[in-house]
Amino acid sequence: MVTEQLAGGDLSRLRQLNALAVVHVLRGRPALTLTELSRDTGLSRPSTEDVVLQLQNQGWLEEVQPASGGMGRPARRYRFRSDAGWVLGVDIGGHTIRVLAADLDGEVRHTVRTPVAITAGRAERLGAVDAAVAECLAAAGLTGADIWATTVGTSGLVDAAGRVVLSVAFPEWTGVHLAQHVGRLVGGTVLVENDSRLAALAETWRGVARYAQHVVYLLAGLRTGTGLIIDGKLHRGFAQAAGEIGALPELGWIRAQEHLRSWTGAPAGTDPDDLAGYVFASAREGDRKAVAVVRRYAKELALGASALVLALDPQLVVLGGGFSRSADVLLDPLRREIEKRCVRIPEILTSTLGDESVALGAVKLSLEHLQEHLFDVRTGVAAPLRPAR
């Protein structure tokens, strides 16, 4: 059936599949000879040569110069040009805008961090985004047209068009059309996604969740949020509104912060946002009252986490967000409170990605978008649509 359909079918599609096979074999690997490429793709030698020439002309492959000094003429070797295209990952945080520029292999080549006031309104925050993107492009020697896909991470609920439909974290943020705004600055597709979800995605890509197919990621910081990985995929829900368990008062996430903010052991005049750091520091030094406050915070965090664990039975819970830096005093009480409530206890690990996790997840989502639209044999359009640089 398959043979007959193809024989009577679309030969240019066959050429695309062959091109994708060569790209697939070469990506993320050292340069290969035509003989090696023919072996690994299952293509005949003439087909391999044909496809390699096509991909070279399109800018996807380049010939690697052989080391001199060998005997005879060495076989020509080809590598995938991971810098044929670029993606951006943008994290619009409360205090910082982060922009990462990465190549097609996902290697982050440039990072820009721009401070922004937590009180900044919409125009000021968007201005900081513009400046950070421009600075990152300049540092990489790129223009916006060189960017093939960009993902923007933001707090709040985002609709499928890339608009923030509900945000309480930043002033004047509900309603901002981030896809449109950032689309003015860069070429290609602009995706917008909730920051907790991107952080969860980053953990499955480069973090502690690489091995797991079912993950509950906890963003524990000045805000509390979650990102869910189900069956290896980011779970968004029917209308992109999944992961909003914090809205249920009975599950404690609304109250959680209050315990930390009630701390009176910090210097007078300390910003309420900074009290958490003092609590964790005092708990680390063994202060009994601070330990008790951390325990109360952990209990509220564990309530929502336990609801997610009981509902989904994940393999792994990841403690991320700013407070994960204090996992030395937070993780044990959190684990105990989850163990009290759950039927099956998942592994509970601390994120090691630090503050970069949202931006890194944004890079990953951009790459997944390209993978699906350019490189996947089922849906990809392969090389021909992309001009050589």
Determine the Cα–Cα distance for residues 98 and 135; give it in Å rounded to an integer.
Answer: 11
Determine the Cα–Cα distance for residues 151 and 179; give it in Å rounded to an integer.
Answer: 9
Q: Looking at this protein, which amino acid is placed at residue 83?
A: D
Footprint of its own copies (CB under 8 A)? 1-7, 14, 17-18, 21, 41-44, 47, 157, 166, 212-214, 226, 228, 230-231, 233, 235-248, 250-252, 303, 306-308, 310-315, 341-344, 346
Per-position b or e across 252-278, b if 16+ CB within 10 A of its CB: bbeebbebbeebeebeeeeeebebbbb
Rank residues 24 and 284 by Cβ distance to its own copies and give the closer one. Answer: 24
Cβ contact 178:90 at 8 Å: no
Cβ contact 172:80 at 8 Å: no
Rank residues 177 and 235 by Cβ distance to its own copies and give the closer one. Answer: 235
Q: Would you state the structure tokens that stand for residue 306, as one six-digit string? A: 């336990």
Say how far residue 184 (Cα) sits from the centre of its chain: 22
Rank residues 21 and 367 by Cβ distance to its own copies and give the closer one. Answer: 21
In the complex, minimum distance from the CB of residue 239 to its own copies, in angstroms, rounded to a whole number? 5
In the complex, minimum distance from the CB of residue 212 to its own copies, in angstroms, rounded to a whole number? 8
In the complex, minimum distance from the CB of residue 6 to its own copies, in angstroms, rounded to a whole number? 5
In the complex, minimum distance from the CB of residue 290 to its own copies, in angstroms, rounded to a whole number? 26
Identify the three-state secondary structure at position 203. Answer: helix
In the complex, minimum distance from the CB of residue 371 to its own copies, in angstroms, rounded to a whole number? 18
Q: Looking at this protein, which amino acid is placed at residue 182?
A: V
Angle at 158 between CA 157 and CA 161, to 5 degrees: 160
Cβ contact 172:166 at 8 Å: no
The answer for residues whose C-beta is within 8 angstroms of residue 265's C-beta and 6 or more apart is 278, 279, 282, 287, 289, 290
Rank residues 165 and 291 by Cβ distance to its own copies and give the closer one. Answer: 165
Rank residues 95 and 335 by Cβ distance to its own copies and give the closer one. Answer: 335
Residue 72, phi-psi category: left (phi > 0), alpha (psi -120 to 50), beta (remainder): left
Rank residues 245 and 348 by Cβ distance to its own copies and give the closer one. Answer: 245
In the complex, minimum distance from the CB of residue 218 to its own copies, in angstroms, rounded to a whole number? 13
Rank residues 164 and 307 by Cβ distance to its own copies and give the closer one. Answer: 307
In the complex, minimum distance from the CB of residue 2 to its own copies, in angstroms, rounded to a whole number? 6
Rank residues 126 and 228 by Cβ distance to its own copies and give the closer one. Answer: 228
Rank residues 226 and 324 by Cβ distance to its own copies and give the closer one. Answer: 226
In the complex, minimum distance from the CB of residue 169 to its own copies, in angstroms, rounded to a whole number? 15
In the complex, minimum distance from the CB of residue 4 to its own copies, in angstroms, rounded to a whole number? 6
Determine the Cα–Cα distance for residues 15 and 43; give it in Å rounded to an integer.
Answer: 11
Q: For residue 12, which phi and psi values (nearest 5 degrees)?
A: -65, -30
